[in-house]
Structure 1
Amino acid sequence: MIRSIRPDAVLVQAVIAGALSFAHLHDLAQAAGQTGWKAWAYPVSVDLLLVAAWRRLRSDGPSRLAWCWFLIALVASLGANVATAGFLDLSHPPAWLRFGVAGWPALAFLGGTLLAHSPAAPDPLPEPTERVPAEPAPASVEQPATVRQPERPAVTAPDDTPALPTAEPVPAPAVPVPAALVDHARKVADAHRAQTGRPMDTDTLRARLGVPAPMADAIAAQLT
C-alpha cells in the first residue's frame, strides 16, 4: 500500500536551509573565479563531505577522523553563508579566499578517501557475563575414634599380621565452568599467543579473567 505523503515542517525547513547554503556556496565559488559548471560543483562537494562524515559518525560511532572532516565541511558551508552576507567584497575577493576555493577540491578528495577507506576501530573483547563463585574445598574426612578394647592376655602374634586398611583420599569435585567463560578464555589465550608467541600459563589466565585458582585450573584443562 502506498503511504500518503504528508507535509513535515522539519523536512521543509531542511530543504530551504540546504537550498540557501547551496546557493551561497555557488556564489562564493563564482566570485573566487570558478565559473560555469565548476561553480556548481563546489556546493555539491561540500555537502557530500558533510553527509559522508555524518554517516560515518552514525554508523561507526564517534571518532576523531569523522569529527575532523565533519567540522571542516561545516566551517566551509558556514563560512560561505557568512561571506555572502556582505562581510566580504565579492566583486574584489581577497587572495586568501581565492586560495581556499582553489585548494578545496584536493582537500575534499582527501577527506572523502579517508572516510571511505579508513577501517573502523576493532571491538574490544567481551567481558564475562557472570562469574561463578568458587566452591569451598572439601573438608578432610575425620577418622573414627579408636574404641579402647578391654585388656586381654598377651598372645604371641605372627610376624605377617596384615596392616589395617587406610582410608583412601577423596578426590575433589570438579569445578563447573560456564561455556561462555570458556569461550572468552580461549579468545584471551589466543590473543596472548599472538602477541607473545607463547601459550598462556594458568597464573596469567587467572589474573586476566579474575577467577579463583580452582576455576582457572579447570578452564586451563579445557583449553588444552
Structure 2
Amino acid sequence: MSRSIRPDAVLVQAVIAGALSFAHLHDLAQAAGQTGWKAWAYPVSVDLLLVAAWRRLRTDGPSRLAWCWFLIALVASLGANIATAGFLDLDHPPALLRLGVAGWPALAFLGGTLLAHTPTPRPANDERDLPPDAPAPATVTHAPEPVTEPEPIPAAEPVPALPEAPAAPAAPAVQAPPALVAHARRLADDHQARTGSPIDLDTLRARLNIPPAMADAIAAQLT
C-alpha cells in the first residue's frame, strides 16, 4: 500500500512546486514590462528548457551541453522565486532585470535548438558500431579422389598454306600539265635568283598548292 502512495505524493509535490515556480516567473516577467500572453510565455519557455535539458541528460548520459542549459534554466527559475520573495522591488524593477527578461527568449531559443539538433558523440570503442562476430566456417574433410592419368592429346593436323594474295597493281604515274610545269620552272628560277639555292620540294608544293605526288612529278621534270 505504501509503494502505491509514494508516487502519488511525489507527483502532487512536483505539481505544487511547478505551479509556484510558474507563477513566480509570470509575476517577474509582468513586473519587467511583459504583459498579456507574453508574461505567461516566459515560464513556459523556462520550464520547457529545463525539461529538455534533463531529458537529454537521462537519454544520452552526461553532456556538457545538457548540463550547461540545465543550469541556465535552473538559475532562471530559482532567480524568479527569490526575486518575488521580497528581495526586489517589483513595482520599480532594476534595468538589469528588464534586460535579462528581454533577452531571455533568444537565449531559450538557442538552448532549445542546440539540445534538439546537436548529435550525441559516441565513444570510439562503442560496441553498437561493431558488427557481430561471424561464426567460424565449419571444416569439412573430404576423402582424396583417385588420380586419373590424362588421355593423350591427338596430334594436330597440318593447316594448309593460304594462297598468296595477288600483288596490287602499280599506281599510275602522275602526269603534270605542261602549263603547271612551266609555272613551276619560273618559280624555281625566281627562288634560285633570290636565294642562290635551288628550290626544295616542300617550298615548291606550298607555292603551287598541289598534292605531294604532283609535286614529285613536277620536281622530276625540273631537274
**TM-score with structure 1 setting the length:** 0.54
Corresponding position: 1:34 with 2:34: yes
Aligned to 1:102: 102
Uncovered stretches (5+) of structure 2, i.e. residues with no partner: 128-132, 137-223
Worse overlay, 114-123 or 93-102: 114-123
**Which AA in structure 1 matches 2:31?**
A
Matched, 1:66 2:93: no
Q: Which has the higher helix share?
A: 2
Q: Deviations over 1:27-75 (max 9, x none)?
A: 0000000000000000000000000000000000011000000000000
Q: Which residue of 1 aligns with 2:112?
A: 112
* SS in structure 2 at match of 1:8: helix
Structure 2 matches for 1:51-200, cutoff 5 A?
A: 51-126=51-126, 179=133
**Aligned CA-pair RMSD:** 2.5
Once residues 65 and 47 of structure 2 are traced to their aligned partners in structure 1, the CA distance between those partners, rounded to angstroms, is 17
The amino acid of 2:29's aligned partner reads: A
**Aligned-partner SS, 1:77:** helix
Displacement of 1:124: 2.7
Q: How far is 1:7 from its partner?
A: 7.5
TM-score of the pair, normalised by structure 2:
0.54
Matched AA of 1:102 = A
Which one has the largest radius of gyration? 2
CA distance in 1, matches of 2:126, 2:49: 34
SS in 2 for 1:39: helix
Off by >6 Å, runs of 4+ in structure 1: 4-7
Distance in 2 between the 1:73 and 1:97 partners?
16
Q: Deviations over 1:105-149 (max 9, x none)?
A: 00000000000000101233258xxxxxxxxxxxxxxxxxxxxxx
Would you say how many aligned residue pairs link Structure 1 and Structure 2? 129
| Counterparts of 1:33 and 1:106, CA distance in 2 | 17
Unaligned residue ranges in structure 1 (runs of 5+): 128-178, 183-224
> 1:9-36 CA distances to partner (integer Å, 9 max, x unpaired)?
1100000000000000000000000000
Residue equivalent to 2:49: 49
Task: Report the identity percentage.
Answer: 88
Provide the secondary structure at the position in 2 that maps to 1:90.
coil
Q: Who is 2:9 aligned against?
A: 9
1:24 aligns with 2:39: no
Change (3 A) 1:126 1:15: closer
- Partners of 1:115 and 1:64 lie apart in 2 by 11
